[in-house]
């Protein structure tokens, strides 16, 4: 039988760099144990490379641990005399539920009102990825995105709404296929009813 603890080189997946380390070998060993644990034969022809593939996939699913969301935002801050609402909506996100290690996925809607500084719009999507590509719960994910924006841009206020489907509810447990979980968080001026309602009205087509 193949030694599950041997050092294996990861060729990376997507934008992840090549790496060879004990952590990757441990992931391969863990997935081998899982395959055997569910009653399959990890040495069966169709499964021989599955532990390595699964390990690479898990590295990609959790690549947010190697990214610094604050540095992502700081890399594209610009001084601008603009103080109206900025909204980026329909930002696709994929994450892993930390309770069952199965996916949840959906969209994030982000708004902020600048106070002398704006950020490159793509950076908002990138911090969603950086926080979501970790073991997460939706509630914490919402707050992490919000406070990253507030702490680094220092706007008059920020708003984040996430709507997601959770596979832990859809393919196990209560098995409710059409359930959607919506979470929201607000800072500063978005805590005022008028401002919050303006933001929600602008994204309400997505929440229908």
Give the start-to-end residue ranges of the domains of the chain. Answer: 9-61, 66-207
Q: Which residues of 113-142 are buried (b: 16+ CB within 10 A; e: fewer)?
A: bbeebbbeeebbbbbbbbbbbbebebeebb
Architecture category of domain 9-61 in CATH: Orthogonal Bundle (1.10)
Tell me the two tokens of residue 20. Answer: 């060879």
Cβ neighbours of 195 (radius 10 Å)? 19
Cβ neighbours of 33 (radius 10 Å)? 13
95 by DSSP, 3-state: which? strand
* pLDDT tens digits in sequence order for the chain, 208 residues long: 444 444 444 444 444 444 558 999 999 999 999 999 999 999 999 999 999 999 999 999 999 999 999 999 999 999 999 999 999 999 999 999 999 999 999 999 999 999 999 999 999 999 999 999 999 999 999 999 999 999 999 999 999 999 999 988 888 777 777 789 999 999 999 999 999 999 999 998 555 4
Partners of residue 97 on adjacent β-strands: 136
Q: Do domains 9-61 and 66-207 have the same CATH topology?
A: no
> What is the CATH T-level fold of the domain 66-207, as seen in this structure?
GTP Cyclohydrolase I, domain 2 (3.30.1130)
User: What pTM does this model have?
Assistant: 0.86
- Report the catalytic residues: 97-100, 138, 166, 168
Tell me the two tokens of residue 148. Answer: 């990253």
Strand order, beta sheet including 135-136: 135-136, 86-97, 103-113, 157-166, 181-186
């Amino acid at each position: 039988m193949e030694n599950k603890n041997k050092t294996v080189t990861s060729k990376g997946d997507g934008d992840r760099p090549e790496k060879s380390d004990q952590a990757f070998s441990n992931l391969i060993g863990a997935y081998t144990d899982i395959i055997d644990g569910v009653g399959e034969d990890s040495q069966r022809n169709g499964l021989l490379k599955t532990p390595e593939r699964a390990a690479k996939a898990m590295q990609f699913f959790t690549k947010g641990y190697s990214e610094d969301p604050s540095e992502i935002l700081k890399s594209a801050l610009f001084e601008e005399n603009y103080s109206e609402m900025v909204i980026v909506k329909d930002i696709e996100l994929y994450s892993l539920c930390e309770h069952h290690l199965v996916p949840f996925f959906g969209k994030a809607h982000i708004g902020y009102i600048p106070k002398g500084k704006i950020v490159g719009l793509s950076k908002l999507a990138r911090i969603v990825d950086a926080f979501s590509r970790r073991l997460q719960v939706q509630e914490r994910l919402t707050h992490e995105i919000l406070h990253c924006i507030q702490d680094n841009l220092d706007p008059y206020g920020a708003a984040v709404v996430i709507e997601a489907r959770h596979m832990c509810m859809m393919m196990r447990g209560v098995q409710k296929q059409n359930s959607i979980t919506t979470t929201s968080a607000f800072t500063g001026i978005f805590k005022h009813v008028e401002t919050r309602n303006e933001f929600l009205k602008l994204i309400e087509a997505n929440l229908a």
